[in-house]
Amino acid sequence: MLDNAAPDTFAFIIHPIDPKADVSRKWPWVGKLLSEGQINFLSAYFPPVYMSEITGVRSEATGRECKGWFIACPFTPQRMLQLPVEQVYAKIIACAHKAEALGARIVGLGAYTSVVGDAGQTIADRLTVPVTTGDSYTIMMAVEAVRRAAEVMGIPLNAATAAVVGATGAIGSVCAQMLAADVAKLIIIGRRLDAIELVRDKCSGKRAEICASTNIDLIYEADLVLTVTSAIDSVIQPEHLKPGAVVCDVARPRDVSRRVADQRDDVLVIEGGMIEVPGPVDFGMNFGFPPKMSFACMAETMALALEGRYEDYSIGKDLTVEQAQEIGAICAKHGFRLSGFRSFEHAVTDEQIARVREKAQYNRKTWSPAHAF
């Protein structure tokens, strides 16, 4: 129930992914003086960090505004994997307490803070303030980005072969289920065959022929690749992709190697899509996106605040298509929308897409999966 007397507020927990670059956003001298290894080590001893206040998020449906805060958990993904999970939980919970003290009525878990342990369940159980990972809207916008990218690349969706890498995860499983209704063939890739077979069962009975495997080399066949693993290092290399392929990389840290951007000008690599936030929003800091744009997980947190849905959302590893569709409708109601693509920190232009299509058409004449780049 929406409480008209109380302000709509939220907080979003972020953390450094590229230690030197991200720490330099707040403390340039730290990024300059310390090595990546030193930052990783010392991050275990840093407290939660207030980054900025977020203002001007305004619903197109109701005219209500909400405000929020960015709070930084100092751990890098590497440290979250190295440290005992209880120590990581304690730091994330401390970040949430800091957000609650500022007045946040819901807290979003960003990047690896939403992955560690049991995907937010333990953190939600130990807090009084509600929590979301933002994964449900991430799913909706990742699938929408794939659909739009297929359109601009001239790939007929109903005749396409798609692949989902990391299909046994909370996001990957639901993305696979949604894409299975769109494409002719779906290749689902996971690390464990028993787990990937369970996802195959959920995807069966829709439009797509389903191929389940632990072998990532099978994505050579795919016209469309959606990748969302929880790996620390990149898993998709230049030799994995055929000319003209679209790759939507939802993972943070990235699944797609930087070598793909450097060596493959005949494939289109996009992030999960930029989300335009309604209203004259000011994030109070630069996190690498153009003005008014956010990640989908951030948008879910803001939309739940505007909707007055102060309850746990997108928690745990058993998300559903219905949950993704519900938050998609809530976000659309308030004016959040997919707005363009980004690739390796840069906006993707129409001219770039045209060049990729032209180069792919030329390279298809000589391409084979065994070709080494």
Buried b (16+ CB within 10 A) or exposed e, 80-102: beebeeeebbebbbebbbbbbee
Identify whether 253 is preceded by a cis peptide bond (ω within 30 of 0). yes
Q: Which CATH superfamily is domain 139-273+344-363 in?
A: NAD(P)-binding Rossmann-like Domain (3.40.50.720)
* Per-residue pLDDT, 40: 77
Q: In this structure, which amino acid lies at residue 79?
A: R
Q: Please state the pTM of the whole predicted model.
A: 0.91
Count CB atoms within 10 A of the CB of residue 199: 24
Structure tokens at 107: 């807290």
Q: Round to whole Å and give the CA distance between 312 and 325.
A: 16
DSSP state of 222: -
Tokens for 34, please give them: 């310390």
For the segment 247-276, the average pLDDT, to the nearest whole number, is 91
Report how far apart the first and last C-alpha atoms of the chain are (Å, whole number). Answer: 56
**Is 41 buried (19+), middle (13-18) or exposed (0-12) by CB count in 10 A?**
middle
Q: What is the pLDDT of residue 3?
A: 52
* pLDDT tens readout for residues 27-58: 776 677 888 788 878 777 889 999 999 999 99
Mean pLDDT for the chain overall: 91
* pLDDT 10s digits, 181-235: 999 999 999 999 999 999 999 999 999 999 999 999 999 999 999 999 988 889 9
Q: Mean pLDDT over residues 253-279, rounded? A: 92
| Cβ neighbours of 73 (radius 10 Å) | 29
Span(s) in the chain for CATH 3.40.50.720: 139-273+344-363
Q: For residue 28, what are the CA distances in angstroms to 34, 275, 315?
A: 10, 28, 35
At residue 4, the pLDDT reads 56
Which structure tokens are listed for 74?
Answer: 């100092």
Q: Per-residue DSSP letters for 123-179? A: HHHT-SS-EE--HHHHHHHHHHHHHHHHHHTT--GGG-EEEEETTTSHHHHHHHHHH
What proportion of the chain, given as a percentage, has pLDDT over 70?
95
Phi, psi of 277 (to 5 degrees): -95, 130
Tell me what pLDDT residue 369 has. 61
Give dist(CA 257, CA 298) in Å, integer: 24
Residue count of the chain, please give it: 373
pLDDT in tens, 327-338: 999 999 999 999
| Confidence label for 17 from pLDDT (cuts 50, 70 and 90) | confident
The CB-based long-range contact list for 36-44 (8 Å cut-off, 24+ gap) reads 39/76, 40/76, 40/78, 40/79, 43/16, 43/19, 43/74, 43/75, 43/76, 43/79, 44/74, 44/75, 44/79, 44/83, 44/87
Work out whether the CA dihedral 7, 12, 13, 15 comes out positive or negative.
Answer: negative
**Cβ pair 114, 134 in contact under 8 A:** yes
**Both tokens of residue 16?**
């450094």
Task: Count other Cβ atoms within 10 Å, centred on residue 79.
Answer: 23
Give the pLDDT confidence of 70-128 residue by residue, as tens digits.
999 988 888 888 889 999 999 999 999 999 999 999 999 998 899 888 989 999 999 99
Tokens (6 digits) for 287: 């996190």
Q: What is the distance between the alpha carbons of residues 231 and 169, in angstroms, rounded to a whole number? A: 11
